[in-house]
Every structure is written in C-alpha cells, then in structure tokens.
Structure 1
Amino acid sequence: MSSSRVLFVGESFTNIGLNLKGFSVYTTGGYEEGGKPLIDALGDAGFEVDYIRNHEVTSRFPAEPEALAAYDAVILSDVGADTFLLHPDTLFKSRIRPNPLASIASYVAGGGGFLMVGGYMSFSGIAGSACYPNTVIADILPVTMMTGDDRIERPEGVRPEPVAEHPALEPVDGRWPTFLGYQRLVARREGEVLLKAGGDPFLVVGRHGKGRTAAFASDCSPHWGTPEFVGWQGYGPFWGRLVGWLAGRS
C-alpha cells in the first residue's frame, strides 16, 4: 500500500498557573501536546503525518487550496476557528489575507478528505468559543453544530455503540471503550451515523463535492478520550480505517 499524506492540526496548549502562598503570588507555565496517540496510530497505518501545533498555524498552515492538494486528508482537533481566521496581519494591521478555512472547503470539494475531532476548541466548543458554526466548515461537515456551548460532560462515562456497517468500522472484539464526554451534534440528512452515544451521533461520515468528510464527537486523547480508549487494541485500527476511508483507500 502506497503511503498517504495527512495534515494534522491542533492538540497543543500552553498553560499558565497562578499560585498564592500567604502574601506571596507567583506564576507557573507549561506546554503540552495531546496528539501523539493519534499521530502514532496513523503512522502505524502507513500514513505520513505532518503535524502543525496550534501556535504554528499562522506561520505554517498552507492557506491556499493548491498547497493542501498535497495531502490526502486534513484533520482538525481541538483548534478553534479564530486561530485560522485572525492572522496577526489581519487582526493588527487590517490586511486582507486568504481564508484558510475557505481553502479547506475548496480542497474538500475538489476531492480531499476532512475530519474534525472533538474537544473544547472543536465544533462550537466550550462557551461557543471554537466558533466553527460561523464558518464555511459548517457547510462541509456531515453534521449541524449547536449554537453556544455544545459539550455533554459525562464523568460517569459513556460508551458509543455502532449503529451501521461501514469500512471505517470493521468488527472489533468487545464493546467500545468509555469516554468522559462528547459534543452534541445533529446529523445532516445526507450524513451517515456510524456510532451513537447517549442517543446522540458520535461518529458521522458524509461527502462534500468530490471529497469525504467525518465528524468524531469526542477526543482522540484525554481528557474525554480515556486511557481505556487510548490503550484499546482497536484504537489504531479504527483511526487507520477512518482516515483511510477519507483518503479514498476504501
């Protein structure tokens, strides 16, 4: 099987902590990435993965659809729409620039694959701050996004269940692992629901123009994606099959 190229964007964050000890106050900082399990799984499935971290989007993301054509699939995971739309040249200098999200839509219409993975900065996001319903991404996804905060937090755990047969869902032994939450989405009429959780769509696939699209409503890694999910024997095969379908392998 020949290698396919995937562009994976997101799954990184910097944190700042405020510490109070009596009259003394000091700050701490750190940096973390959550995409390694999925990146490793795709590598094991034969994909060549280019990884763009959240803070690298403005400098590294290929804004023109012609540049995206080098990839068989594009994955966005936990990276808000403003990260693409508010380039410093636009935000601070009022300069006109290409719209990277419109480039993704054109890329998919021309035959590319596209996947959005859930998280606090995916779909509508926490407090609605991911903002994708207001973008052209809303036109290409096989789901309709909620307005406002779309999170369904399930600290007691929830297990998705297959509801359809599809190349992305070859039979696996046992049940799907537990998740700690997901995002409430509504499948479009032309979308195909493959997994449900709590009565809500959990994985939906569809087509846009000549391309294929998918929406996975939960995390690919903690916190919603539990260690049980990341360590599941079906983790790698599932992502490999899903992205393989998006890339036209099946």
Structure 2
Amino acid sequence: MVSRVLIAGESWVTQSTHIKGVDSFTTSSYVTGVEPLRRALEGRGHEVVHLPAHLVPAEFPGDADALAAYDVVVLSDIGANSLQLAPEVFEQATPGTDRLGALRGWVAAGGGLLMIGGYLSFTGFEAKAAFRNTVLHEVLPVELLPEDDRVELPAGARAAVARADHPALGGVDGEWPPLLGYNRVRPRRSADVLATLNDDPLVAVAHYGAGRSAVFTSDCSPHWAPKPFCEAWDGYARVFGGIVEWLAG
C-alpha cells in the first residue's frame, strides 16, 4: 500500500565566521539531512513531501482538512515553537490556528505520527524542543523529560531488539550498526517498546484513539546516525519503512 508521508524538519542553515589575522568574514550554507529517509521511503513506493525547517512556521498544515492529504506525518529535528509560532502569531500578534491541537485531533481520528530524535526533538537541546509542554505530548507513546534529554554516545552503542516480530520493525534480522546518541524518554504503559538503546526506548509504538503514533529516539541521519547505519545498512529502509507502514495501518 502506497502512503503519502509529510516529513517536517531535517534541514538547517549554518553560518561560519572566518578570522584571518585582523580581518574576518562570514559564510552561510543550507543543509538537508532528509535524503537517507526520503530515499528509504520512496524506495518502498511511498510518496514523500519534505517541508524544510525554515518553511514549517509558515506552511505546516493547520487543520484537519490540510492534514488529510497525508497518511503519516513525521516530525524530525524540528521544535514545538516552529509549529506553534506562525508568522502572523509571532510577528504580528494575531491569533492563528492551533496546529499541534489539529495534529493531535488528526491522529485521534486515524492518522499516523512519527517523531524522530535530534537536538530539536522531544525535549531536546537545553529543553528547547519543548514538546513536553504541548498537547502533542499525550499523543506520543513515551513520556518526555523536563530537562535536556540528549544522550551522547561518542563510542557508539547498538540497539537491543525486544520485539523482532512486530511489523513496525520491517522484519530486520541480525545486529544493528552502532548509533552515536539519542533522546532519553520513558515508555508509557500503553506503549510497545520494540527496541532499546542503553536500556532506554529507541523504537516505541502505541495506538492513540483511532490512530497510531511511534518514536525513533535516535536520528535518521548524521551525526547520531552515522553512514554505516543510514547509508550502508539495508535494515535502515526496512525499519523506517516498517514504522511508516504500521502507522499508515
């Protein structure tokens, strides 16, 4: 079954300052991290729409009708502020739409939501992702920490698979390549934890109303997901494909 997937986030702008003696100048670059995930899902026949991070505040779907164009919504390395603070709200102090409330209602009505880890996922770097303070928190199969939730694993660590038979893992066999970090969360009683990292949830899924939600608490691209994981491992497409297909029902 072909699913239509919206991926919000997974892009950033980097600005560097170059200092050469008494002179300095700055350069800027635009980077996307979505390509491994996009390739994996499109390779399984799904239709993928990528909404880069800088467009999320203005263009993320704001109501059930707009969300109805998709079967699965993926939030990856994009904080709650970017979804809540549309330009008219933040810059003009004009009431707008409650997009996280709309997303919650869409999942409850049968949609599928996946949150992927990163510095601006879950609670995130210096707690700036801030999803714990939003209505979307209750949709996730995990409970979020009130503080910076990142766990850096510079030496790498391998996932421990608890439910290899669950369809959301795509039938992956054998050892997973090491990951370099993740967001620490706590599983809800209603959740199925399919894989762990350092004994914390890595992949967890749950039902929410008539819909489904899932988390992958590490990254889908570098730096937490090094190239042996997201480019060289054939299990990458099977895991993310399995999660999306389970979410789509």
Report the TM range for the smaller structure's normalisation.
Answer: over 0.9
The 5 A counterparts of 1:69-84 are 69-84=68-83
Displacement after TM superposition at 1:237 (Å): 1.5
What amino acid sits opposite 2:83 in the alignment?
F
Q: Name 2:238's counterpart in structure 1.
A: 237
2: distance between equivalents of 1:19 and 1:125?
29
**CA deviation profile, 1:10-66 (whole Å, cap 9, x unmatched):** 100001111222211211110100001101111111111111001111332211122
2: distance between equivalents of 1:170 and 1:65?
29
RMSD over aligned Cα atoms: 1.0
**CA deviation profile, 1:224-245 (whole Å, cap 9, x unmatched):** 0011111201111211111000
2: distance between equivalents of 1:150 and 1:239?
22
Q: Name 2:222's counterpart in structure 1.
A: 222
3-state SS of 2:89 partner? helix
2: distance between equivalents of 1:134 and 1:211?
22
TM-score for both structures, normalised by structure 1:
0.96
Q: Name 1:187's counterpart in structure 2.
A: 187
What amino acid sits opposite 2:123 in the alignment?
S
The 5 A counterparts of 1:1-250 are 1=1, 3-164=2-163, 165-230=165-230, 231-248=232-249
2: distance between equivalents of 1:112 and 1:171?
23
CA pair 173-192 structure 1, distance change in 2 beyond 3 A: closer
Displacement after TM superposition at 1:170 (Å): 4.3
**CA deviation profile, 1:71-116 (whole Å, cap 9, x unmatched):** 1110000011111111121112110000111111010000000000
Moved more, 35-44 or 170-179: 170-179
What amino acid sits opposite 2:71 in the alignment?
D
What amino acid sits opposite 1:10 in the alignment?
G
Moved more, 54-63 or 69-78: 54-63
**CA deviation profile, 1:117-162 (whole Å, cap 9, x unmatched):** 0000100010101111011110100000111210000000011111
Tell me, which stretches of 5 or more residues in structure 2 are unaligned?
A: none
**CA deviation profile, 1:187-206 (whole Å, cap 9, x unmatched):** 00101100011111111100
1: distance between equivalents of 2:238 and 2:171?
11
Moved more, 55-64 or 72-81: 55-64
3-state SS of 2:234 partner? coil
2: distance between equivalents of 1:84 and 1:170?
30
What amino acid sits opposite 1:178 in the alignment?
P
1: distance between equivalents of 2:183 and 2:61?
28
Number of aligned residue pairs: give it.
Answer: 247
3-state SS of 1:26 partner? strand
1: distance between equivalents of 2:39 and 2:170?
20
What amino acid sits opposite 1:84 in the alignment?
L
Displacement after TM superposition at 1:172 (Å): 2.9
3-state SS of 2:177 partner? coil
Tell me, which stretches of 5 or more residues in structure 1 are unaligned?
A: none
2: distance between equivalents of 1:34 and 1:177?
19
Moved more, 7-16 or 62-71: 62-71
